[in-house]
Homo-oligomer: A and B are copies of this chain.
Amino acid sequence: MTSDARERMVRSAAYLFRERGFSGTAFSDVIAHSGAPRGSIYHHFPGGKAQLAEEAVRYAGEFLSAGVRAATRDDDPVAAVRAFLGWWRRVLVDSDFKAGCPVVAVTVESQLSGAAADAFGRWGDALATGLTAAGAAPARAGRLATLIVSAVEGATLLCRANRSLDPLDDVTAELEDLIEAACGTG
């Protein structure tokens, strides 16, 4: 399978962007990490680095929204949110606070806003769906989902700066209370 190498490159790009950022990740890094053949970069990605970044963002958007949907439970409004927060907690801990969100890296450094907006939107939609199913009013669920995505992305940045999980813990505590109140649960 030759397009296997292609997919590995996309995944490696997403992985490396988290720690080194967009400009800080060279093609050679992606090649080294993915084990993909060097000569086929522009065969698979004629649009160059921008195309690779766009697909990495799309991959991250799809991957995490699928995770949120899988963790959604009608009877537990915070289950999906906890899964979402738990994912970021793991990224931080596993990387010793060196890695963050690849979508954020691309948003800050490049002008690929379309792909980033799509990824953020997918996460928000997945969370909002879960909150609505748990009893929140649809409009409120949308606002809460935006708050959750925003707060988690921001807290991840604070955690990296502080080399500590404290900011994410604080945010988690506040968000869970807020969500339970919005879903009419005790």
Residues of B within 8 A of A147 (CB): 151, 170-171, 174-175
Please judge, given known A-B contacts A108-B100, A108-B157, A174-B178, whether A113 and B146 are in contact too, CB under 8 Å: no
**Complexed CA–CA distance, A104 and B116 (Å):** 16
| Closest residue of B by beta carbon distance from A166 | B146
Say how many copies of this protein the assembly contains.
Answer: 2
A107 touching B173 by the CB < 8 A rule? no
Mark contacts of A105-139 with chain B using CB atoms, 8 A cut-off: 1 yes-contact digit, 0 otherwise: 10111000100110011000000000000000000
Residue-wise, chain A 147-179 has the 8 Å CB interface mask toward B (1 for contact) of 101111111011011110011001101110010
Bound: A97/B117 CA distance, A:
13
Q: Is the interface of A mostly helix, strand, loop or mixed?
A: helix
Q: Do B104 and A157 touch (CB < 8 A)?
A: yes
**Least CB distance, A169 to chain B, in whole angstroms:** 9
Measured CB to CB, the residues of A under 8 A from B are: 21-24, 97, 100, 103-105, 107-109, 113, 116-117, 120-121, 142-144, 146-147, 149-155, 157-158, 160-163, 166-167, 170-171, 173-175, 178
